[in-house]
Amino acid sequence: MNRSDKRSKSRLKQRALIAAIVTGAVMLQPGCGIPQLRGAKPGQAMPETYTRPASTGSESVNWDVATAIATEPPTVDAAEESKSSEGGLIRLAGFLRQATKIEPNKSDDKDKTEDEAASVVSQAADDPISLFAPAAMPSVDSFDLANTGENSGQFDWHQFFDDPFLAGLIDQALVGNQELRILAEEIQIACNETYARSGEYRPFVDVGAGVGLEKSGEHTRAGAVEDQLEVAPGRGFPDPLPDFLVGANVSWQLDIWKKLRNAQSAAAMRYLSTQEGRNYVVTGLVAEIAENYYELLALDNRLLTLDKTIEIQQNSLKTADAMKEAGRGTELAVQRFQAEVRKNQSEKLIIEQEIVEVENRINFLVGRYPQHVQRMSVEYIDLTLQSISAGVPAQLLQNRPDIRAAERELQAAGLDIKVAKARFYPSLNLNAGVGYQAFAAGYLFRTPESLIYSIGGDLVAPLINKRAIQAAYRTANAKQLQAVYNYQQTVLNAYTEVINQLTKVSNYGKSIEIKKQQLASLEASVDSATKLFQNARAEYVEVLLAQREMMEAKMLIIDIKQQQLSATIYAYQALGGSGGGPANFN
């Protein structure tokens, strides 16, 4: 063994010894220098049933908006309740049961002790949702799963809206809406990020070739050595010296702490969250198109009401004019009836303009240029949609895309904690290369004379000045807390939306029934006032007031009906309607 080989082995031993010392020093540090995690403040538990606001004077009850009949929550024993939670709620049940096992921090500003911090880190790596969102929901065992009526949010919009013209508009919008197209590209971007991350924990292989020319000075070490060497007996090295190279290099970071795999999983969770975000936009788009469509029907009925009112007033104008000619009336009555007719004709033009604007709003949502919107001609006051059944609050977790998206973001934030934690540990890299190298192309592929190869590895860990990775770890922790609070806020907002819309549907329905009775009385009063006026037993002012009040009542009942239909539509959206099932990698 020559002297150079001995020196090479000695250097390798020194490097191995230094790597072992550094790794041991890192591993012996308390907690590897990992900062302490902070826990999230628990949110309020979701109620077991949808509860009417206290201001209505009603107790906590379950109710079906379609019948507006309150029912006492049925009593379910533990065995039956466990059976009813099977199927779609299995994943939810596991999450909620785990969530109740973790005691949350009393303050997110106070650090834990060192032992508690180590426990927190371990639990965060295993189940971030159960650790940081313990009180976002109550235990699944407390839910009344035997609720009367299926959740309407589980129905597809084709089942909920039976108007063929509206269904056609929604179908066109799902294909042509520009916002959905933009979101589709966002999903593709998220998918590409996931695909890129999946390659980071696999070996990288590069191939290449090169050619070069080198001239060493005669009075240099390399030049002096080359002068003493011969390629063959009596034949020295060429000067300048060509260099031909072809080979392949392999590099691989062994993912011993699952840092790279967790980063890929976090990207996958965000990809699913992006899909759920698009689903949530779809629910809003369907609701917005439906609301504008029924607003269009309301404007058509307002226009029809004005036409009928103008016709009645024109008949009254003819009567007043005839009475004036007969000397039984005055010019003032004629002028007042004319003014009322002109006022309603002007109002008619304003409504026609509103119709144009609503049509174009629908066309914009559909993704087409302004054109006439086909629609049904129906008696608007008697128009009904599918009845709304609220189900139980727990079903919101399955049906609402925004809640599912927030859950995915929370899972991604938990994985980011793992990635940030793994940066404190040593990373192991392997490198290898193989190829051919020669000073002449004719010698390039001679084996083993021109064969070259190398293999090695390194173990690297942070030792001093860990501020950057400590800050990144704390940032990941803070972002996870943000995800927790966003999840709690999303659930709270979902429950509030459902309550608001269910209450609105119920109250507006009762208001319409009362308004119908008022309208019947006003229509009778208009007939009576007209007959009395024709017989000169009533003043024209009474006729005008009766006609005006009847028209205002009709307009108001149309407006209330529109609000009720909008509330029904948005209650369907709030329950997760048209949001599709949970996103997956297909």
pLDDT tier, 46 (very low <50, low <70, confident <90, very high otherwise): low
What percent of the chain shows pLDDT beyond 70?
Answer: 75
Judged against a pLDDT cut of 70, whether residue 73 lies above it is answered with no
**Mean pLDDT to the nearest integer, 198-204:** 92
pLDDT tier, 128 (very low <50, low <70, confident <90, very high otherwise): very low
Residue 75: the pLDDT is 35
Residue 67 near residue 504 (C-beta atoms within 8 A): no
Identify which has the larger pLDDT, 312 or 285.
285
**Mean pLDDT to the nearest integer, 297-319:** 91
Give the separation between CA 65 and CA 568, rounded to whole angstroms.
9
Residue 29: the pLDDT is 55
Residue 20: the pLDDT is 58
Residue 307: the pLDDT is 93
Judged against a pLDDT cut of 60, whether residue 79 lies above it is answered with no
pLDDT tier, 50 (very low <50, low <70, confident <90, very high otherwise): low
Residue 49: the pLDDT is 67
Hey, is 312 helix, strand or coil?
helix
Give the separation between CA 258 and CA 87, rounded to whole angstroms.
32
Residue 5: the pLDDT is 59
Residue 36 near residue 121 (C-beta atoms within 8 A): no
The angle at the Cα of 271, spanning 35 to 392, to the nearest 5 degrees, equals 90
Output the CA torsion 529→535→538→541 (10° steps): 70
Give the separation between CA 134 and CA 127, rounded to whole angstroms.
11
**Mean pLDDT to the nearest integer, 232-249:** 83
Residue 326: the pLDDT is 82
**Mean pLDDT to the nearest integer, 508-514:** 92
434 strand-pairing partners: 248, 453
Query: Tokens at residue 395, please?
Result: 């079903």
Angle of helix 467-534 versus helix 259-325 axis, rounded to 10: 20
Judged against a pLDDT cut of 80, whether residue 465 lies above it is answered with yes
Return the HEC string of 16-28: HHHHHHHHHHHHH
pLDDT tier, 431 (very low <50, low <70, confident <90, very high otherwise): very high
Identify which has the larger pLDDT, 382 or 184.
184
**Mean pLDDT to the nearest integer, 266-283:** 94
**Starting from the edge strand earliest in sequence, which strands make up the sheet with 204-214, in order?**
204-214, 241-254, 427-438, 451-460
User: Taking Cα atoms as reference points, which of 545, 463, 480, 431 lies closest to residue 21?
Assistant: 463
The angle at the Cα of 433, spanning 427 to 436, to the nearest 5 degrees, equals 170
Identify each DSSP E strand in 102-149 by its residue range: none
User: Taking Cα atoms as reference points, which of 114, 93, 165 lies closest to residue 392?
Assistant: 93
What percent of the chain shows pLDDT beyond 90?
Answer: 43
Judged against a pLDDT cut of 70, whether residue 26 lies above it is answered with no
Give the separation between CA 364 and CA 176, rounded to whole angstroms.
10
Residue 381 near residue 553 (C-beta atoms within 8 A): no
Residue 11: the pLDDT is 67
**Mean pLDDT to the nearest integer, 483-487:** 94
Residue 57: the pLDDT is 45
Angle of helix 540-574 versus helix 331-366 axis, rounded to 10: 10
Query: Tokens at residue 204, please?
Result: 């990288």
Q: What is the largest CA-CA distance in the chain?
A: 144
Identity of residue 396: L
Q: Between the CA of residue 534 and those of 413, 474, 524, what are the distances in Å?
A: 79, 85, 16
**Mean pLDDT to the nearest integer, 274-299:** 95
454 strand-pairing partners: 433
Residue 80: the pLDDT is 36
State the chain's mean pLDDT as an integer: 79
Give the separation between CA 530 and CA 133, rounded to whole angstroms.
69
Residue 323: the pLDDT is 84
Judged against a pLDDT cut of 80, whether residue 14 lies above it is answered with no
* Distance in angstroms between the alpha carbons of the first and the last residue of the chain: 61
Residue whose pair of structure tokens reads 């002449």 in the numeric block: 440
Judged against a pLDDT cut of 50, whether residue 213 lies above it is answered with yes
Give the separation between CA 53 and CA 45, rounded to whole angstroms.
17
The continuous run of DSSP H or E covering 488 comes out as helix 467-534
267-271, 326-330, 478-482, 518-522: range with lowest mean pLDDT: 326-330
Residue 172: the pLDDT is 94
The angle at the Cα of 243, spanning 238 to 247, to the nearest 5 degrees, equals 150
Hey, is 264 helix, strand or coil?
helix
Give the separation between CA 505 and CA 560, rounded to whole angstroms.
10
Identity of residue 79: A
Judged against a pLDDT cut of 90, whether residue 210 lies above it is answered with yes
Exposure letters 247-257 (e unless 16+ CB within 10 A, then b): beeeebbebeb
> By CB neighbour count within 10 A (0-12 exposed, 13-18 middle, 19+ buried), where does 190 fall?
buried
Backbone φ and ψ for 315, nearest 5 degrees, come out as -65, -40
Residue 170: the pLDDT is 95
**Mean pLDDT to the nearest integer, 90-96:** 35
**Mean pLDDT to the nearest integer, 412-417:** 95
pLDDT tier, 114 (very low <50, low <70, confident <90, very high otherwise): very low
**Mean pLDDT to the nearest integer, 496-504:** 90
Give the separation between CA 122 and CA 102, rounded to whole angstroms.
13
459 strand-pairing partners: 428
**Mean pLDDT to the nearest integer, 248-257:** 94
Residue 325: the pLDDT is 84
Which residue ranges form the domains of the chain, and what is each CATH number? 22-201+255-309+372-426+461-574 (1.20.1600.10), 202-254+427-460 (2.20.200.10)
How many CB atoms lie under 10 A from the CB of residue 226? 18
Judged against a pLDDT cut of 60, whether residue 131 lies above it is answered with no
Residue whose pair of structure tokens reads 């699944």 in the numeric block: 140
Identify which has the larger pLDDT, 214 or 369.
369
Residue 154: the pLDDT is 75
Give the separation between CA 578 and CA 586, rounded to whole angstroms.
19
pLDDT tier, 192 (very low <50, low <70, confident <90, very high otherwise): very high
* pTM of full prediction above 0.85: no
**Mean pLDDT to the nearest integer, 164-185:** 94
299-308, 561-570, 573-582: range with lowest mean pLDDT: 573-582
pLDDT tier, 2 (very low <50, low <70, confident <90, very high otherwise): low
Backbone dihedral region for residue 104 (phi beyond 0: left; psi -120 to 50: alpha; all else: beta): beta
Residues 6 or more apart whose CB falls under 8 angstroms from that of 86 comprise none
> By CB neighbour count within 10 A (0-12 exposed, 13-18 middle, 19+ buried), where does 464 fall?
exposed
Residue 216 near residue 223 (C-beta atoms within 8 A): yes
Give the separation between CA 525 and CA 543, rounded to whole angstroms.
9
Hey, is 380 helix, strand or coil?
helix
Query: Tokens at residue 55, please?
Result: 């201001």
How many CB atoms lie under 10 A from the CB of residue 52? 18
359-373, 504-518, 525-539: range with lowest mean pLDDT: 525-539
pLDDT tier, 8 (very low <50, low <70, confident <90, very high otherwise): low
Identify which has the larger pLDDT, 240 or 567.
567
The radius of gyration computed from the CA coordinates of the chain, to the nearest angstrom, equals 39
